[in-house]
Amino acid sequence: MAKAKGAIVVDVERCKGCQVCMVNCPTDTIGMAEAVNGKGYHYAYMKDPESCTGCTNCAVVCPDGVITVYRVKKN
Amino acid sequence: MEVKEIIRPENLVYKRTPLLTDAYLSYCPGCGHGTVHRLIMEVVEEMGIQEDTIGIAPVGCSVLAYDFMDIDCSQAAHGRAPAVATGIKRLWPDKYVFTYQGDGDLAAIGTGETIHACNRGENITIFFVNNGIYGMTGGQMAPTTLEGMKSSTSPYGRNNETMGPPYKITELVAQLEGTHYVTRQAVHKPGPVRKAKKAIRKALELQKENKGLSFIEFVSNCNAGWKMTPNDSNIWMEENMFPFYPMGDIKVDGKLVNG
Amino acid sequence: MKELALMKGNEAIAEAAIRAGVDGYFGYPITPQSEVMEYLMLQKPEERTGMVVLQAESEVASINMVYGAAGTGKKVMTSSSSPGISLMQEGISYIAGAELPCLIVNVVRGGPGLGTIQPSQADYFQSTKGGGHGDYRLIVLAPASVQEMADFVDLGFELAFKYRNPALILTDGLIGQMMEKVELSEQKERVSEFDQSWVTTGKTKERERNIITSLNLDPDLQYEHNLKLQAKYKSMDQDVMFEKIECGDADFLLVAYGSSARICQKVVEMARSKGLKVGLLRPQTLFPFPSEEIARMARKVKRMMAVELSAGQMVEDVQLAVNGKVPVTHYGMLGGKIHSPDDVLNEVEDKYIGGY
C-alpha cells in the first residue's frame, strides 16, 4: 500500500503530556516520552516514525497547538 | 524516507497559527479551551480579518484569553461580555466582534445579557464553552452541571429537586428572533474539531452579512474539575454530556432545524 | 452661532450630548432622569450626527456597553438615578481600573433603597469616594443650573479624555426637572481619530494588540498600576472648579453644591440684607474637591456650614480641609425633602449669633 509519508515535530516545552494526540493517532505513531520537559510533563513524540502518514489529526486536536506536521505529497 | 527528509518547508501541512501568541496557555493539560482558541484564531487568520476583529474575554478559566490571541481584546466583568460586545459593535458595525464565555459566565451570572443580546439580534458571535462546571474557582456546580454530577458544591451529586436541573441555554436562545445561527459542537476528536472550525468560519462570515447573532456552544471537558485524565474525561463527556447536550445545528438561516 | 432654548436640565444634558459629538448613549429608564433617553430618542441623533442611542435591558448592561464602547476611544455615556447607579458600580470600577474615558450622569433621588424620586444629595460619598470596589476616583461635576447641565457634558468629556477616567455629573431632580434658559453650544464633529496606543479597534500591522482590562494577577504590577492611578487622581487638583459668592468680607461661609447651592445663594442674599456677613463657596467639581480654597477661607472666616440634602457627607471633606481651624457644622434635609432658604437662614442665624 502506497501510504503518504509524514512526520511531526513536537514543541517539547509547550507539550503538557495530555495524550489527546496519542489516542487520536490512527496509525499509533505517537507515544509519550519517558523523559519530562521543563514543566515536568511526559511529552509526545513519534515512537514509530515509519508509520506516520502526516494526517494532521494529532495537531488538530492538540489543545496547546504544539504539533507541526509535514507530509510528502507524492513519491 | 528519513524523517529529516520529510521535515522540510515544502512538506509543511500543519503549523500553529501565528495569531496565537507565544504566551504559555494557562489551561490544564487536555482542556478544550486551547483548541477553541486556536480554531478561532485560525479562522481569523484564514479570513484575513485580524485588523478588524475585537474579542471579549470573560471571567472564568478563559479570563486570560486575551493573552493568547493576537487581536485587540476587551476583558469583561463576569457575565457582561455580550453587553460589552454590543457597545463595541453598535459603534463599529464593520468590525468583527465576538465574545468568548464559559457556562457560569454565560448561563448563570450573565443570563440577562446573553438573552437580550441574542434577542436584539446583535450582529456579533458568541463562543460558549460548556464544560458543566466552574473550573477556575475550583470546580463548583454550574448551571450546566448534569443531574447527579459531583462538583465541589454538589459533593453528593447534583440534586435536581433541591438545586434545580441543568438547562440548555443554547436551545433557549435559538427560540429568540434575533439569533440567526445556533449550533453545538465539540473539539475532543479530529472530526468534531474540523466541523467546529467550519461552524466558527460560518459564524464570522455571517457578521459580514449583518444577519444577526451567531451562537456556538462547544461542549468541552474539564478533566481537572471532573477529576479524570484528559482522555477519560473526553470519553465521559461523550457518554454523559452529549446525550443531554446533543451535537449539531439547532438553528440555521434563522430557522430552527427541528422546528 | 449660539442658540437659546428653554429646557429641563435633563433635556439640556441630552441636547448637549448630541452637540458635543457624543458617539453613543446606553441607558435604562429610571425616574427622575428618564427625559435624557426620551429626548435623545425623539431627536433621532442617528440622523442628526450618527450618534447611537440604545435602551439596554438593565443598568448593569448599559454600563458594560459603555465599557466596551469606551475602550474603542469613542465618546460614550450613560445616565441613571441612584438605585441604577448602585447597580452600575461594578462596571464603573472596571472602567476606572481599565482607565477608560466616559461620562455618567446621576440624577440623584432620596434613599436608601428604592427611597423616593425627590431630590437628594445623599450619593456624595458614593460618587466622590469611589463607589464600587477598589481604590479609584471619578471626576465629579456638580451643576447648579440648567446651563451647567449642558456645559458640563462637554467639560466632563474633556476631563474624562484628558485623564482617561470616568467623569460623573452629580445632580438631582431639582436641577434635572427644572426649566431654565440655556445657551446651547455649536455642534461639534464626532471624533474620527483614535489614540492607537490603547484603543481596541482592531490590531493593525503598525502596532501591537491593545487590551482593555483591569486584571493584573501579579501583585507587583497591580501595585504599580494603583500607584499610577493615585498619582493621576492627585494631578486632577489642577482642574478644580468652584464659585465664590460674597466671600470677600464674609465671616460665615456656607459650602454647598448643586441644588443646595441654588438655595444657599438666596440665603446669602437674605442674610446680607440683615447685615450678616455670609458668603457661599460652591464647588463645581466635587472631585477634585476645592480643599485648598476652603483651607484658605478657614483663615478668613469664623465659621463654616456645609449645606447638603443629606445627613452630612460633603461636610467631612470640608472638615478635612479646615483641619480644625474653625468650627464646621452641617445642615441638611433628608430623604427627598428640600430645605427652604428660610430653614437655612434660621440655622445660619442660630450658629452665627450663638457661635460668636
Q: Which residue of B has its CA nearest to C206?
A: B51
Tens of pLDDT, residues A15-74: 999 999 999 999 999 999 999 999 999 999 999 999 999 999 999 999 999 999 999 976
ipTM: 0.97
Query: For residue A42, which of A67, A15, A11 has the smallest C-alpha distance?
Result: A15
pLDDT at residue A1, as a whole number:
45
List the domain boundaries for chain A.
Answer: 5-72
- Which residues on A lie below 8 Å from B7 (Cβ)? 7, 9, 70
- Which residues on C lie below 8 Å from B50 (Cβ)? 202-203
Give the dihedral sign, CA B67/B72/B76/B80: negative
For residues C172 and C303, state if they share a domain: no
Mean pLDDT of chain C: 97
Tens of pLDDT, residues B95-153: 999 999 999 999 999 999 999 999 999 999 999 999 999 999 999 999 999 999 999 99
Q: Hey, of A70, A72, A73, A74, which one would you mutate to test binding to chain B, going by the most B CBs within 10 A of its CB? A: A70
Contact between residue C36 and residue C210 where contact means Cβ atoms under 8 Å apart: no
φ and ψ of C97, to 5 deg: -65, -40
Q: Could you give the 3-state DSSP secondary structure of residue B59?
A: coil
Local structure of residue B108 (DSSP, 8 states): I
Q: Hey, of C53, C65, C92, which one would you mutate to test binding to chain B, going by the most B CBs within 10 A of its CB? A: C65
CA distance A33 to chain B (A): 16
Rounded CA-CA distance C155/C100 in Å is 16
The CATH superfamily of B27-251 is Thiamin diphosphate (ThDP)-binding fold, Pyr/PP domains (3.40.50.970)
Does the global pTM surpass 0.95?
yes
pLDDT, mean of residues C43-68: 98
CATH topology assigned to domain A5-72? Alpha-Beta Plaits (3.30.70)
- Which residues on A lie below 8 Å from B190 (Cβ)? 24, 56-57, 60-61
Q: Hey, of C75, C200, C201, C205, which one would you mutate to test binding to chain B, going by the most B CBs within 10 A of its CB? A: C200
pLDDT, mean of residues C223-242: 98
Domain housing C319:
241-354
Cβ of residue C65 closer than 8 Å to a chain B Cβ: yes
For residues C234 and C306, state if they share a domain: no
Rounded CA-CA distance C341/C271 in Å is 10
Nearest to A68 among B15, B24, B38 (CB): B15
| Helical segments of C195-283, H only | 219-235, 258-273
Nearest to A65 among B38, B190, B229 (CB): B38
CATH number at residue C268: 3.40.50.920
Cβ of residue B47 closer than 8 Å to a chain C Cβ: no
For residues C127 and C233, state if they share a domain: yes
List the domain boundaries for chain B.
Answer: 27-251
C323 assigned to some structural domain: yes
For residues C257 and C197, state if they share a domain: no
In percent, the amount of chain C with pLDDT more than 90 equals 98
For residues C157 and C121, state if they share a domain: yes
